[in-house]
Amino acid sequence: MEIAFVGDVMLGRLVADELRRHPPEHPWGDALRLLRRADVLVGNLEFVLSSDGRPWPGKTFHFRADPAAVASLEAAGFDLVSVANNHVLDFGWDAAAESLATLASHGIRFAGAGEDLEAAQRPAVLERAGLRVGMLAFTDNEPGWAAGPGAPGVHHVPPDPRDPRAAALFESVARARDHADLLVVSAHWGGNWGVDVPPTHRAFARALVDAGADVVFGHSPHIPRGVEVIRGRPVLYSAGDFVDDYAVDPVERNDRSFVFVLRADGGVPVELRLHPTEIGDCRVRLAGASAERIASEMSRRCAVLGTRATWDGARRCLVVGLEPGTH
């Protein structure tokens, strides 16, 4: 079983313009073959699929695409997406509800937002090759969007183990173990910039693994942060930006990221491969001449977290071994 993870996916604005002129496969460039090769593809959806709604007041950026853009997600092969983030309500709840309904009608499972707190907390589960893969999703962004017992919104959880919302999340993780052979917890957390992992995130990731998470899939920062391995379970503190139309910071290079491919054996993570990618002209592509440079920087970020990531020239990717003695 191979599960591919990619960071923030934004198909609105200029990317949406490109989609009107090109086929649905266009945003994925030559990374498409890598995405389609995975048994399960997971990402964070940073826009809504809707033609309705008004921009949320007070926000600077609002991202959406026509519901027909779901064909692009299908073309890539997305199976599970997180919608617990700071853009799912960019055009209000009705637009978000339309987006979630569109995903559901096309067989793309989602987690992290819903018509009430119970729905937002609900794990998404799918079965592939006899293995049940589940995902819970939360965010610490936009506290005003938090779902409640009778109110729609996102699964909002501050990354503080002492917070009662965190305690409820840990209980949800433990319960989800009964329904999944491999459990992912998606975390849209922290600010947009900086390669250093906050100590609070490291402590919270450890608590999630203690509760039963097999993978912690982090995003929100526009750049990838290092990977930590906790008792054989990979923690992706930030997967970065995968495809968008954003301006590029010349230092932090938010146009560079990875396809993170996890190999699991019977639900147990065995190996993580990081395939370097770059964004150009609203389209992602596998990194060419810059691949080793991107990988080298990521290797240093992993080393700070005690993780050994080695370059595999034949497969053109970084490799993190997850079995005992490999990191």
pLDDT digits (tens, 9 = 90+) for 50-83: 998 999 999 999 999 999 999 999 999 999 999 9
Residue 30 domain-assigned?
A: yes
CATH of the domain at 163: 3.60.21.10
Place of tokens 């590029």: 248
Residue 326 domain-assigned?
A: no
Measure Cα distances from 53 to 93, 155, 182 in Å: 8, 21, 37
Residue 11 domain-assigned?
A: yes
Residue 182 domain-assigned?
A: yes
Residue 327 domain-assigned?
A: no
pLDDT of residue 211: 97
Residue 37 domain-assigned?
A: yes
Identify the domain containing residue 207 by its residue range: 2-321
Place of tokens 């409640």: 148
pLDDT of residue 168: 97
Burial 137-168 (b: 16+ CB within 10 A, else e): bbbbbbeebbbeeeebbbbbbbbebeeebbee
Q: Report how many domains make up the chain.
A: 1
What angle in degrees, to the nearest 10, is found between the helix axes of 199-211 and 164-176? 40
- For residues 16 and 52, which has the higher predicted lDDT (pLDDT)? 16
